[in-house]
A and B are shown apart, each in its own frame.
Chain A
Amino acid sequence: MPNGLRELGLLASALAGCALAAPAASAWEPNKSVEIVVAAGAGGASDQMARMMQAAIQKNNLMKQPMVVSLKGGASGAEALMYMKSNDGDAHKVLIAYSLIYMLPLSAKIPFNWRELTPVSVIALDQFVLWNNTTLPHKTVKEFVAAAKAANPPFKMGGTGSKREDHVLTVFMEKLTGAKFAYLPYRSGGEAATQLVGNHTASNVNNPSENLEVWRAGQVRALCVFDKERIEYKTKVTDTQSWNDIPTCREEGLDVQYLMLRAMFLPGKVTPDQTAFYIDLFRKLVQTGDFKDYMEKQALKPVFLTGADMVKFLEVDDKLNKDLMAEAGFVAN
């Protein structure tokens, strides 16, 4: 199965080059403030990204109307999905989505399908990293896995939510190594980070942005990144390491890969003019210095997809997530 995981990464990098020339300036423009709908709680990775976009668009005058961030993280983000679904034709609402659009309908039987919304653009891919506490002696994946196998009671793995990305990664680590983990689903990545620092869990699989500060403070150790290649950013982040210094999990003998999309969607039934406006807006946005700085700081993988390319990507990604969820036994029946 991990082979399937690998394909996603390949596809992403293959399509990254496809962001070609933009269509001419669109005829439609928002006539009131635009709402960025965040399917997560305050302070989480999606919220941070939405606020950065709000600030970058305002600072660089990319749009005449103001942008407001609207947090709809209720029910692990299902609130945002249902909200978008119930606002067909309203081009003043744009969702900042991640893999929950595939996973929530499967695990919790939420009546939602991303194909009912209008895909605008994929703006980044987010990484997952295996972290442990620096006070523990296990400095490499091998040592960590060996210790996890021998551990009784089992090691505690912190994560965000149940039957979602973090949980899927944990299950696949269990399948590949034979170790057992007690998975603790917290409410947010921030909470999972603090609980790791406080030694209440042995490890977590947070996104880089969620553990960045505690990593810089030397409180957690980055064991490996769940991608087929290392993260490209080579500027030192901690005293001794850059993102690029973290080995991939495959290099360390743990062949699990997973990347998470960060993509923008409009509600269903909007006009092509309206979609074109946002495609143009986000294309300009990803070229701003603010956006690029943010990508590097949060170790996000740059990618920009729109139109048919994006739909193709989403279909492949959807199938991949579905297979993973099925194999992990997380699909509700």
Chain B
Amino acid sequence: MEALGLLLHGFGVLLTWKTMTLMMVGLILGIFVGVLPGLGGPNGVAILLPLTFTMDPTSAIVMLSCIYWGALFGGAITSILFNIPGEAWSVATTFDGYPMAQQGKAAEALTAAFTSSFIGSFAAVVLITFLAPGIASFALRFGPPEFFAVYLLTFCSFVGLGREAKHKTVISMSFGLLLAGVGLDTVSGQLRMTFGWSELYRGVNFLVAVIGLFGISEILLTMEERLALRGHSARISLRVVWQVWKSLPRYWVTLLRSAAIGCWLGITPGGAIAASFMGYNLAKRFAKDKESFGKGRIEGVFAPETAAHASGTAALLPMLALGIPGSGTAAILLGGLMVWGLNPGPLLFVEHKSFVWGLIASMYLGNVVGLVIVLTTVPFFAAILRVPFSAVAPMIVVSCAVGAYAIHNAMFDIWLMLVFGVVGYVFKKIGIPLAPFTLALVLGNRAEDAFRLSMIGAGGDLGVFWSNGLVGSITTLAIVLSFWPLISGGVDRITRVFSRA
């Protein structure tokens, strides 16, 4: 119960007017940053970082982490209303969130997203509170083979559990993997597929692709349907919020599963995106009517949001305990810590107790206050849908372009975004799913590196993926998942034979 005492101490550090005000300011700034597509958490935190140089470390981290929570909440808003994921891990939220908004259930979808974000983060914070020291050593067990196994698991769960035709998923994923190879290769130190073009050295940025594939292509599709007004009057009231909350207990299995996946993948660095996809796919796998997914099912919002936010929050743990940022925003926060003279590492928890526990306490408070703020502003955001499409569309295109430009301050990225817009439009027309493409683009590089490092280390022996219990069980699970339809079909047949006999 030492953790509880320390946590109370943390709250004590926190409960002053000054820090509480900073917290509110941070949350509101964060929500705005999250709403603007492409700007996202990492950029927002980076822009506001210098404001905190003169503050004491605890106030500074409270404000910055609240910007982070705000951005996490805000990221869901554009995913649901405009089909533009504000952050990489909001992609899976668009699958059911956007259809819900089209059916006039924007308020339900937003409430569901915010509530499940809260639940996910809360689960992760509880985990951080009680398991901090032990978890750091768990994360240390991940070497290249283990990382590759996790990425393989994500890819395989997509192929095996995805709702689309398997060959289309594989085609889409292959395109993504191909594009992920563009740029300088870390393992060989050589340029690949850049064709002497210096803009391609840094590779194809994931966010640029996502903004184009989802945002621009959506605008193109809507235009084709003669500027159809998609957003019907979205009535918001406390009643809607209450109804969504009342339905929560029915989905407890989904919520619990997603929170667990999120915490696990957040702690193994770099897993927030994988978490949201895996949460979504598993929810669908275990649902009774799989067909209703992707057509506006509230569970399809709960599952990825809970997982993404559990992992987004849990990602702070390896950052604090090991100095490995689990997400882009965590990386910027890491830079901040160094400026304030704190070095993340195993000793941080010992030497800077009140800082660490102040931060953990601020995670609890920030999430509660954040939930209240976003819920009270839902009517405002949903009202955007009532503005005529012809007025909103140009604004969306402009903010997409600004977002794509802001990532690297590069004009080239705007052209790339437009190209991806056309690609997304064509893919949607011929029924090739976009999600495997984006997943492969974001994880392809890391998966390739992890695989090649494993091979260098093992002298080319594939047995390294079964060399210990941890990596062996993840790899086996991945292979089972990729052949899941065959296996479950086989199991069905066997049980049928037995029941007949």
Asked if A and B are interacting partners, one says yes
Residues of A within 8 A of B (CB): 41-43, 47-48, 51-52, 54-55, 58-59, 66-72, 74-76, 78-79, 82, 86, 107-111, 153, 156, 161-164, 167, 182-187, 190-191, 193-195, 197-198, 200, 212-214, 216-217, 219, 330, 332
21 A-B pairs in the complex with CB atoms less than 8 angstroms apart: A42-B334, A48-B335, A48-B338, A74-B184, A74-B203, A78-B202, A82-B201, A107-B189, A108-B184, A110-B191, A161-B186, A162-B187, A184-B456, A185-B187, A190-B324, A194-B322, A194-B323, A197-B140, A198-B140, A200-B144, A212-B345
Residues of A within 8 A of B348 (CB): 213
Q: Cβ of B346 < 8 Å from any Cβ of A?
A: yes
Residues of A within 8 A of B453 (CB): 184-186
- Does the CB pair A59–B53 fall under 8 Å? yes
Residues of A within 8 A of B54 (CB): 58-59
Residues of B within 8 A of A216 (CB): 345, 347
- Does the CB pair B189–A164 fall under 8 Å? yes
- Does the CB pair B331–A42 fall under 8 Å? yes
- Does the CB pair B189–A76 fall under 8 Å? yes
Size of chain B's interface in residues, with CB distance under 8 A? 48
Name the one of B142, B188, B191, B328 contacting A109, with C-beta atoms under 8 angstroms. B191
Name the one of B53, B191, B201, B331 contacting A79, with C-beta atoms under 8 angstroms. B201
Name the one of A43, A74, A161, A190 contacting B201, with C-beta atoms under 8 angstroms. A74
Q: Cβ of B20 < 8 Å from any Cβ of A?
A: no
Name the one of B338, B347, B449, B458 contacting A187, with C-beta atoms under 8 angstroms. B449
- Does the CB pair B459–A182 fall under 8 Å? yes
Q: Which residue of A lies closest to B143 (CB)?
A: A200
How far in angstroms is the closest Cβ of chain B from A237?
A: 11
Q: Cβ of B97 < 8 Å from any Cβ of A?
A: no
Q: How far is the CA of A110 from the CA of B334 in the complex (A)?
A: 30
How far in angstroms is the closest Cβ of chain B from A307?
A: 30
- Does the CB pair B459–A194 fall under 8 Å? no
Q: Tally of A-B residue pairs with Cβ under 8 A?
A: 141
Q: How far is the CA of A79 from the CA of B343 in the complex (A)?
A: 28
How far in angstroms is the closest Cβ of chain A from B53?
A: 5
Q: Cβ of B198 < 8 Å from any Cβ of A?
A: yes
Q: Known: A54-B50, A59-B53, A198-B142. Contact between A76 and B186, CB under 8 A?
A: yes
Residues of A within 8 A of B140 (CB): 194, 197-198
Residues of B within 8 A of A76 (CB): 184, 186, 189
Residue-wise interface mask of B (202-242) relative to A, using a CB-CB cutoff of 8 A (1 in contact, 0 not): 11000000000000000000000000000000000000000
Q: How far is the CA of A76 from the CA of B203 in the complex (A)?
A: 11
- Does the CB pair B324–A42 fall under 8 Å? no
How far in angstroms is the closest Cβ of chain A from B150?
A: 14
Q: Which residue of A lies closest to B446 (CB)?
A: A187
Q: Cβ of B190 < 8 Å from any Cβ of A?
A: yes
